Structure 1
Amino acid sequence: MAMNFFSNTKTLVPIDFSEYSKRAVETAMQVTSNANIFLLHVVDPAQLYGFDDNGGYELGGGMGETMGAKQGAAELEKQHRDAALKAMQGLFGDEKHHGIVFAVVISDPPHGIAQFATENKVGLIVLPSHGRTGAKRLSIGSVAERVVRLSHCPVLVLRE
């Protein structure tokens, strides 16, 4: 009987709510126990505040422009954190996914993923080679490649 090297390893799955990232969660569940899995959504501040309209899970990019400076920024970040956590719980809150930990950070995706992995002593990152907007957004050479370069641990990049 073969032993799985990662069976007791903390595993991080960055999620952008695409079908690709949902499949990455299923792959992580095959590699380790649910109790060792972190699902992380990274809210990109450039998109959050309307500086970049390209991808991400957004509730209305540019909302930062209509709110007061610091109070508005804190409220906007809280709204996006809460919405992302609620969306993860909606998708992965069933018995099959019991034990998985949900997290949200505000950062550019590659750095946010690598930093979360380091801070939480993650031993494996599982992510798709394509994300929410397909090959253009998360192709090798973009976010996935940058995560590979920045991470202290092994990164499993899943092909379509």
Structure 2
Amino acid sequence: MNFRKILIAVDSEPIAARAADVGAALARALGAEVGLIHVIEFPLGYAEASGVPASELTARSKQVGHQLLADFRQRVSAQPGVLDFLEVGRPGVEIVKAAAEWPADVIVIGSHGRGGVGRTLLGSVAEHVMRRAPCPVLVVRANADARRNPE
């Protein structure tokens, strides 16, 4: 199997930086193209509860998302042709959709490796992606120090 297009899911969690590093190293080793995806998710009713119009909230979130992608693009800058995907929706769904449409040969995603109740955000996203992805998924877990010293 040739991994020519590597899609790396990123967010503001520290594990995303580790996933980006692993994905970039894999891309360098294989001479692969990199796509970075960040998904903006708004909990149901968030705009109304915050008192900020949904359009303004979306615009602000997209600005933050573009900056986050720019930071990660710089982190993996040794790679030629880094693409950005900024989506609004449910992270797992949007990552799988982008992987199918690009199309990615492999997805790299970080996971805290928490089980049970602790597996609520990125853990459940990684699980959704693993179950529904159109390609192999490489799940990068937090390193041992991060597991011993959670924030």
Q: Which runs of 4+ in 1 moved over 6 A?
A: none
Structure 1 spans left out of the alignment, 5+ residues: 51-61
1:158 Cα deviation from its structure 2 partner? 1.6
- 1:83 & 1:31 partners in 2: Cα distance? 27
C-alpha offsets along residues 88-139 of structure 1, whole Å, 9 cap, x if unaligned? 31354365466422221001111011011111111110011228xx754333
* Structure 2 length-normalised TM: 0.74
Distance 1:30 1:5, change over 3 A: farther
**Pick from 1, 18, 23: which aligns with 2:18?**
23
Identity of aligned residues (%): 27
The corresponding residue for 2:137 is 155
Paired residues in the alignment total 135
Distance 1:26-1:145 versus aligned 2 partners, 3 A rule: same
Q: Distance in 1 between matches of 2:39 and 2:63?
A: 12
Secondary structure at the counterpart of residue 93 of structure 1:
helix
Alignment pair present for 1:144 and 2:126: yes
TM-score (norm 1): 0.70
Q: Judging changes above 3 Å, is the alpha-carbon distance between structure 1 residues 128 and 101 closer, same or farther for their aligned structure 2 residues?
A: same
Residue 71 of structure 2 aligns with an amino acid whose one-letter code is G
Q: Structure 2 counterpart of 1:137, which letter? A: L
1:1-160 equivalences in 2 (<5 Å): 5-6=2-3, 9-33=4-28, 36-46=33-43, 49-50=45-46, 62=47, 65-67=50-52, 72-93=53-74, 95-96=77-78, 99-130=81-112, 135-139=119-123, 142-160=124-142
Cα distance in 2, alignment partners of residues 128 and 90 from structure 1? 17
CA distance in structure 2 between the aligned counterparts of 1:102 and 1:64, rounded to whole angstroms: 30
Secondary structure of the residue that 1:158 maps to in structure 2?
Answer: strand
